[in-house]
Amino acid sequence: MKKLVTTLFVFAAVFILSGCGSTETSKGKSSASLPTEKEVPLSDKQTTDSSKKLTVRTFDSTDSSSWAASFQVISSDKGNILIDPGKYDDELSNYVKTIGGVDAILITHGHWDKLRGLDDAIKANPDAKVYVHELDYPYFKDTKRNCSAEQGVEGTTNAKATTLVEGNYEISGYQIKVIHTPGHTEGSVLYHFPEENILIGGDTIMADKVAGSQHPGGNEAERKASITKFKKLSFPKDMRIYSGHGASTTYSELLQTNHDLQ
């Protein structure tokens, strides 16, 4: 009788355990199907794969009333920055729409070929903040200093700007070093983006030369001092340099082609 009870108890236990196992399987909770802690959700993978890479696109701002010039738009997942908008035409407008608008507008110096499209740029991007060195902010309203009078245009801009001095700033998500290089104008600056390894040279640093001091607000002694200052700076050889006139270059190439830096 004792053996019979033991046998029946073992049989019942096997039956119960077998039933629990079949229940787990039917609910799809087998250990093989459970995600591990290292797995990344699909939504996170999509975000990583679709992150916006750094793009610097150059536009031509030349027209019949202005010197031949160019300007840039910097775009990445940090933000979008417009540099020296010499015009705001359909080409630029359409491109800015594809990147979701402009967060900030940087002015390298106050000449009219850098300011002519500023009012239109702000109208199209009302939340964008404008930045310029404090010494060139008056150029916005001074037709002699901004050289529009020289071109027969008498141009001014109603833009309100945040003024800068030399130093480090965070603008539109970017870490930017503002380097004051007077000579071409009193408030000419370079914008260095160390994390992106790019430099915006404006008219101060171009592939072949450093812009002259012959216009109102220019000063040859300051220009020479700015050249000396730049020659003492050090940048990565492959840093890309974009200017307001001419093609982009690298720092190593610049030292070979810019005759003012020899």
pTM of the model: 0.80
Instruction: Identify the three-state secondary structure at position 4.
Output: helix
Over residues 89-115, mean pLDDT = 97
Q: What is the mean pLDDT of residues 137-156?
A: 95
pLDDT band at residue 57 under the 50/70/90 scheme? very high
DSSP string of 180-226, one letter each residue = E-TTSSTT-EEEEETTTTEEEEETTS-SS----S-STT--HHHHHHH
Amino acid sitting at position 8:
L
Compute the mean pLDDT over every residue in the chain, rounded to the nearest whole number. Answer: 85
Averaged over 149-166, what is the pLDDT? 95
Whole-angstrom distance, CA of residue 62 vs CA of residue 84: 12
Are the beta carbons of 220 and 240 closer than 8 angstroms? no
Q: Which class for 32: exposed (0-12), middle (13-18), buried (19 or more C-beta within 10 A)?
A: exposed
For the cut 90, the answer to whether the pLDDT of residue 174 exceeds it is: yes
Q: Give 37's pLDDT tier (boundaries 50, 70, 90).
A: very low
Spatial separation of the C-alpha atoms in residues 198 and 184, rounded to whole Å: 21
- Domain assignments of the chain as residue spans, ordered by start: 51-261
In contact, 111 and 185? CB cutoff 8 Å: yes
**Given a cut of 90, is residue 209 above it in pLDDT?**
yes
- Please state the rounded mean pLDDT for residues 167-177: 98
The pLDDT of residue 111 is above 70: yes
| Torsional sign, CA 113, 115, 120, 125 | positive
**Least confident segment among 40-44, 85-89, 135-139, 240-244:** 40-44
What pLDDT digit, counting tens, does each position of 175-199 carry?
A: 999 999 999 999 999 999 999 999 9
- If you classify domain 51-261 with CATH, what class do you get? alpha beta
